[in-house]
Structure 1
Amino acid sequence: MESLQARIDSFLKSKRVKRSSKPNSTSATVKWPHPSSFNANPHTLAEAGFYWVPSWEDRDSVACFLCHKELSDWDEDDNPFLIHWQKCGNTCAWAIVRCGLSEDIAEDGSFVFLNKKRLPTSKAMEKARLQTFGEELWPHDGQDDHGASSKKMAQGGFVYTPQTKGDDTVTCLYCNLSLGGWDADDDPMWVYEVLPLRRKVTHP
C-alpha cells in the first residue's frame, strides 16, 4: 500500500467481513460507507496515508500504510490529515512529513516554520523523510554505490511516493516536484542546481 493509487483503489472494491474468526461465522459484503462529500473520502484518506480495512464492527476502519495505526468512526467534518497528525505526529513518518504540512503553511499559502524542528533542513525532518523509504522498499538501496540512495534522497528533500511496486518515484512535498527513473550516477542534489526555481521560488 505504499503507492497512493493502491490506497485509493482499496476503497473502491467491495470486501467481505466476518463476524468472528470461526470457520462458519456469518459474513457480509460491504462497501465504503460514507459519501464523497465527507472530508474523509477515499482520496483524502489515501493522501493522508490510509487504506481501507473494514471489520464487522468497524465498517469504515482504515490503516496507515507506514505506521499501521487503525482509525474508524469517521464523521462528515473529520480531517484525516489533522487526525493522523494529532494521533501519530510523534511516531509516524508519513504523519510528520505529509499530514503535518498544515502546521507549516500560513493563510496566504506561504511556508512559516514556527516549530524549528519542522524546518526542511532539520535532522528530525530528514529522518522522517528517510523512514518513508522503508527498510527494503527503495529499489536502489541494494545496489552498491548507487548515487540515488534513500539517504541521499532524504537529504535532498524527497519522500518516497511510488506509483507501482518497485517504482522509484520520489516527491518534494514543499514544491510538489516528482522525479523517477534514477540512474546509478544520479545525484538528488542536482535538482537544486538545474532547477533553481525549486530553490528560489517554490521551495522554503
Structure 2
Amino acid sequence: MTAVPAVLKPSAKMIWLKERLSTLSKWPYPDSAPCSARKLAETGFFSLQLEDEPDLAACFVCLKQMYWEKNDDPKAEHASHSPDCLFVKINKKEEDLTVSEFMDLYRESIINYKKMYMNEVLNKLRTQRNEFSELGNTKSR
C-alpha cells in the first residue's frame, strides 16, 4: 500500500488554470496533441511531477489519477473515469465559474482528500489487525 501523495493535498491554488498548467511544464505531449498540457489543465488535471511517470496527472477535485496517451481526449476521459466529479458535472471554463462554484470545487477537493486519507488509515489498521490476529494464531499452536 502506498501513502497518499503529498502533492494531492488540497491546495486552493489548483483551482486556477494557470497553476495547474504550471505543473505541466514538462508534459510529454506537444501543444498540437489532443492531450496537450492546456487541454489537460482545462479539464481540472495537474501533473504529479513524477520523474519516472511523466504522463501521470490527477484531477484537483476528485483526485482521480490517470496515465495519459497523446491522442486521449482529456474531457471525455475525465467524464468516463470519474463521472461523479464535481468539476465534470459543472462543466464550465474557469472564466464562467461563479464564486459559489469555485468554493464548491475547493470544498469537494478537501472532502475527497479526507476520504482518500481515511481509507488509507483504515487499510493500515486492517492490515495491523490481520497481522496481530495471525500472530495470535501462531502462538496458540
Give the length in aligned residue pairs: 89
* 1:71 counterpart residue number: 66
Q: Which residue of 134, 138, 143 maps to 2:107?
A: 134
Gaps of 5+ in 2: 1-13, 93-100, 111-141
- In 2, Cα distance between equivalents of 1:59 and 1:66: 20
Q: CA deviation at 1:56?
A: 4.3
* 2:86 counterpart residue number: 93
2:35 is the alignment partner of 1:40 = yes
Aligned-residue CA RMSD (Å) = 2.6
- In 1, Cα distance between equivalents of 2:108 and 2:49: 27
- In 2, Cα distance between equivalents of 1:64 and 1:75: 16
Q: CA deviation at 1:131?
A: 3.2
Gaps of 5+ in 1: 13-30, 100-128, 138-204
In terms of fraction of residues, the more helix-rich structure is 2
Higher relative contact order (Cα pairs below 8 Å, separated by 6+ residues): 2
CA contact (8 A) 1:8 1:42 kept: yes
TM-score (norm 2): 0.55
Equivalent residue of 1:32, what SS? Answer: coil
In terms of fraction of residues, the more strand-rich structure is 1
Structure 1 residues 57 and 96, CA gap change in structure 2 (3 angstroms): same
